[in-house]
Structure 1
């Protein structure tokens, strides 16, 4: 028995999608197209064919696209599909990560499986088959405005499934036709409605936002643990986590974070040598991390709705004899949520950098050597890491400028307002790696502090985290390049006891 296949994630297209499914889609997963999804999809397809035969106008099936909706489309379905994908083959720039593209395909499959788009059932089978392999269409990053769906990038996905363009298989890039053959897949047959339904949704935006949320949430949980370790190593009084204090603050996130910090700081014995009030980067962590917690809950609500919804146009309702043209492809909720997520990431990164700055400063770190150098002057300890952390914070701040306020009219003003949710979500996803490196930089600083004179942690949870860091990263003594150490510390703190995430 192939144990790898036995451990593969199983996704039922009739059931709600979760972010963990999108994360798992980076590799082969088992996607099930259940009978109910097939029946819904088939009924919508039959209704669409009947409506067209009766002379009813259906966007993209009987008409041109976008601003050319007033003109008739091509009468042959396959010819209409060719035209759909050809005119959208305009993407530019660097290519998107294969894991993100595959998550996008899963999101699109779930939307289409709800039976409101009118695709042929074999389209669902093709998407499910693709996700069972390592096949990943090569998709250029630039070209979507997040309205009428992620048209240009999704067109690249659909084209690759037909054997056009390029794709990756087992991490190797090749012509899409060769990639399909290598993966054991058959080129996808599409008519005009199938092609339009594949591209006319915000599935890339949703996938990027969901994966970014997953990454920021992991960093948030790590920063809760690191803030407690910092508090313990410096011998601070943890009264800033007091339950009555935070209850009067009245924000639910602060209360949740406060509960977790009190758990992690159980057994803490203050040194009695610290000032009455700690700097805000310690004293205000429940309030800051609590606000982030509340913001992440909002983003999660948007992701949940996006994963449950149908983003397409038009939508078909056979039971009510309705074909409804509207704007369910408009990614405004995700745009707002992604911009908020970028702000959260920037402030979390800033907190990590400020805590590292405090830790390397002998005026505020309880007398530890400057830059946590084992021999100041002869060695420079975390000086380079602290400089790099400042640059990383600047990266997060630059990318926190809201994309959702940048609306530009396009497509002969049929798209006269656009959300730019794709840009917002992709930038939030970019920021995850930067934020994780800031988390790792702080973790490395805490590990080094224990080497150059910080007291031993008195709280068992702090001692366990420090032990894990010490086992993975040796002391900076003498100086050495620390790029890999930052990444190692990042991995340790993001993977140690993930249930700690509030």
Structure 2
């Protein structure tokens, strides 16, 4: 895909990520232009007629009853932006800001916001030239949209504040625009409101996290299969007959993945007969149920996002066919807020059960392997502290998984008396996802060490590939060394999907 054409109706998460991370160019689809122009024509007609229309010829929020003269409309929109750019905290990562820019343009391409085509084109020109504003991550309450962060975006369009450089530094946005041959945007009637009234910060974070989650849930099956093999567990709990009588799709998919990954395993066959363990612990036996439930949650969140990123989230909205302006609440982030909290909880559980499997491997009383997977225990600590780190990460996730959407606090003199806090939930879900990446990395590293104790028996057709990829970068732990470097190397494999891609090239796509 060299160019993505956005029309407000057909964007997918994968398309969006290609823009965020691979720099795919974006342009407005031709079919979007007549819709956008029709709503813009109405705005200009209402301005000429000096009609009182919220967001066009009035103030905002508590000031919605203040009429603004036509000679002040540009000033009104500029004041809206600079007064709302009150964010704080760490900046949003550049790739997520690129998503935010794309998603806002796609919502405007639906044609219900009354914005000029040239203004949306300016936003896309910045995106295509990688002029990405530095936007603070805190300050949104998730209703009336992500006003604060989107206001900072528009400041960048106006040549105010800073933008990112290729090396991760910053420079003035005005300087970057001038170098690219772009003039700072001058906002016309309604355009400031159209640009900042939307859920694009929370949907950007959640889109990024959901795409990563779709990969991580398959990688959890890989790490779990490696652990099951290293602990001489049984695959009986993945028997399809069990899952046919409880047919949750994610559960069935996880069971199939485990069986495929462990096909041809000599380690598994070595203890099929005569093994004295009747059934495995829950963290091994219930992988299909736990991984599967999280997989189904991820699928649900993806469906919510597919609707949201192709929705008009402005207020008011303009329906050109009936020449009406309707005031509503499509900016309210509640659908996304609930989905973000759900995803955070689902991902947190992936890490919870992974950490329990790590503990079983390093605990010699449970594993039957050398304590902390070192042959020279006492002199060496082996993988003891790797489990501490995993325990810390999952404990942090338990705090982060507390729902943000159960909270609300009034704003704008109680006119806006219920807010979603969806941006907080989406940022938390993103951080949980980052923690899950590290927990799964620790499990894979630990499982590779456990599998070494079953040499020369061969591994499963999938787990063998995972083991080999890890061992190309991290050798067996004979004596204590700086374990941080080992974890970092495996985390790099997880974050880049390297192990997953190697496996899928050999045995086909996992579910």
TM-score (normalised: structure 2):
0.93
Q: Out of 336, 342, 345, which is 2:344 matched to?
A: 342
Once residues 156 and 459 of structure 2 are traced to their aligned partners in structure 1, the CA distance between those partners, rounded to angstroms, is 57
1:227 correspondence with 2:221: no
Once residues 296 and 146 of structure 1 are traced to their aligned partners in structure 2, the CA distance between those partners, rounded to angstroms, is 21
Once residues 265 and 9 of structure 1 are traced to their aligned partners in structure 2, the CA distance between those partners, rounded to angstroms, is 40
Tell me if the contact between 2:7 and 2:31 (Cα under 8 Å) persists in the aligned partners. no
Q: Out of 150, 156, 177, which is 1:154 matched to?
A: 150
Q: Out of 15, 19, 43, which is 1:48 matched to?
A: 43
Q: Out of 332, 357, 367, which is 1:330 matched to?
A: 332
Deviations 1:451-492 (A, max 9, x none): 345663442222121111111211222211122321221233
Residue 237 (structure 1) shift: 1.9
Aligned to 2:370: 369
Residue 397 (structure 1) shift: 0.7
Relative to 1, partners in 2 of residues 1:351 and 1:339: Cα closer, same or farther, differing over 3 Å? same
Residue 336 (structure 1) shift: 0.3
Tell me if the contact between 2:5 and 2:29 (Cα under 8 Å) persists in the aligned partners. no
Aligned to 1:289: 291
Residue 501 (structure 1) shift: 4.5
Once residues 165 and 192 of structure 1 are traced to their aligned partners in structure 2, the CA distance between those partners, rounded to angstroms, is 23
Residue 55 (structure 1) shift: 4.1
Residue 144 (structure 1) shift: 0.7
1:408 correspondence with 2:402: no
Alignment of 1:421-432 (within 5 A): 421-432=422-433
Q: Out of 126, 131, 134, which is 1:130 matched to?
A: 126
3-state SS of paired residue (2:416): coil
Deviations 1:124-176 (A, max 9, x none): 21111111122111111111111001001100000111101111132330122
Residue 274 (structure 1) shift: 5.0
1:72 correspondence with 2:41: no
Cα RMSD over matched residues? 1.7
Tell me if the contact between 2:3 and 2:27 (Cα under 8 Å) persists in the aligned partners. no
Relative to 1, partners in 2 of residues 1:177 and 1:19: Cα closer, same or farther, differing over 3 Å? same
Between 485-494 and 98-107, the greater mean CA deviation after superposition: 485-494
1:62 correspondence with 2:63: no
Aligned to 2:320: 318
Unaligned runs of 5+ in 2: none
Once residues 305 and 496 of structure 1 are traced to their aligned partners in structure 2, the CA distance between those partners, rounded to angstroms, is 31
Tell me if the contact between 2:231 and 2:450 (Cα under 8 Å) persists in the aligned partners. no
Between 444-453 and 102-111, the greater mean CA deviation after superposition: 444-453
Between 411-420 and 490-499, the greater mean CA deviation after superposition: 490-499
1:485 correspondence with 2:479: no
3-state SS of paired residue (2:213): helix
Once residues 289 and 437 of structure 1 are traced to their aligned partners in structure 2, the CA distance between those partners, rounded to angstroms, is 17
Q: Out of 95, 112, 137, which is 2:91 matched to?
A: 95
Tell me if the contact between 1:330 and 1:419 (Cα under 8 Å) persists in the aligned partners. yes
Aligned to 1:471: 472
Unaligned runs of 5+ in 1: 1-6
TM-score (normalised: structure 1):
0.95
Aligned to 2:106: 110
Tell me if the contact between 1:134 and 1:183 (Cα under 8 Å) persists in the aligned partners. no
3-state SS of paired residue (1:31): strand
Between 417-426 and 51-60, the greater mean CA deviation after superposition: 51-60
Once residues 73 and 501 of structure 1 are traced to their aligned partners in structure 2, the CA distance between those partners, rounded to angstroms, is 58
Deviations 1:255-295 (A, max 9, x none): 12222222222224341435111000000001111111111
Aligned to 1:17: 11
Tell me if the contact between 2:251 and 2:288 (Cα under 8 Å) persists in the aligned partners. yes
Q: Out of 177, 182, 186, which is 1:180 matched to?
A: 177
Deviations 1:54-78 (A, max 9, x none): 3433211110011110112353332
Residue 104 (structure 1) shift: 0.2
Relative to 1, partners in 2 of residues 1:501 and 1:159: Cα closer, same or farther, differing over 3 Å? farther
Once residues 14 and 334 of structure 1 are traced to their aligned partners in structure 2, the CA distance between those partners, rounded to angstroms, is 18
Aligned to 1:3: none
Residue 48 (structure 1) shift: 1.6
Tell me if the contact between 2:8 and 2:108 (Cα under 8 Å) persists in the aligned partners. no
1:196 correspondence with 2:193: yes
Relative to 1, partners in 2 of residues 1:341 and 1:212: Cα closer, same or farther, differing over 3 Å? same
Tell me if the contact between 1:14 and 1:36 (Cα under 8 Å) persists in the aligned partners. no
Relative to 1, partners in 2 of residues 1:376 and 1:452: Cα closer, same or farther, differing over 3 Å? farther
